[in-house]
Amino acid sequence: MKPFDALVCMLFLGLSSVADAQPAPADPLPRGSVAFLGITFLDTSTEGAYFGARADEAERVMLLEETARARFEKEGFTLLDTAPVAQTLEATVNPANCYGCELRMGQTLGADYVLVGEVQKVSNLILSMNLVLRETRTGDMVRGRSVDIRSNTDESWLRGVRYILKNHFFETGDVQ
């Protein structure tokens, strides 16, 4: 074998072993019941400090919540009614950051999983979105992702939540 041919062969074998070493997709989530405690909007922008809450952003939060609910139902999960913990939930500023209160609410509801999210607005151009699914019994995070989104529009917010759901929670099919 010529030296060049040997080099090409070694490179091919090396690259194919690197390709084989890619992580496998996450195991599918066992289906069960979900206590979805909503998505919290955190406005840390200058605009928010001066002018307060905007109706269009509150509507976008509801749009994200509807999108997440629909996807979980489409995937075969049962979304539980949160009415039994409504008073606790209302008193909680941010269920995604409450020292385990989300797990306690999920346990009260008898849920297998607890789903919480956040959208943080830094400016009208820079926003961050987080979605976390925890196993209620153990508190283990079974799925979670944070993405940055650009522009403060329905389309950009939906693109962010759909990306998280499609590529990190379910990794199958279309999110529509």
pLDDT at 2: 60
Give domain status of residue 21, yes or no. Answer: no
- Residues 18-62: pLDDT tens digits? 444 333 345 788 899 999 999 999 999 988 888 888 999 999 999
User: What is the domain range of residue 71?
Assistant: 29-170
- Helix residue ranges, H only, the chain: 3-20, 46-51, 55-74, 86-91, 101-109, 154-164
Model confidence, pTM: 0.81
Identify the CATH number of the domain in which residue 50 sits: 3.40.50.10610
Tell me the pLDDT band of 173, cut-offs 50, 70 and 90: very low
Tally of domains in the chain: 1
In a domain? residue 7:
no
Residue 8, domain member (yes or no):
no
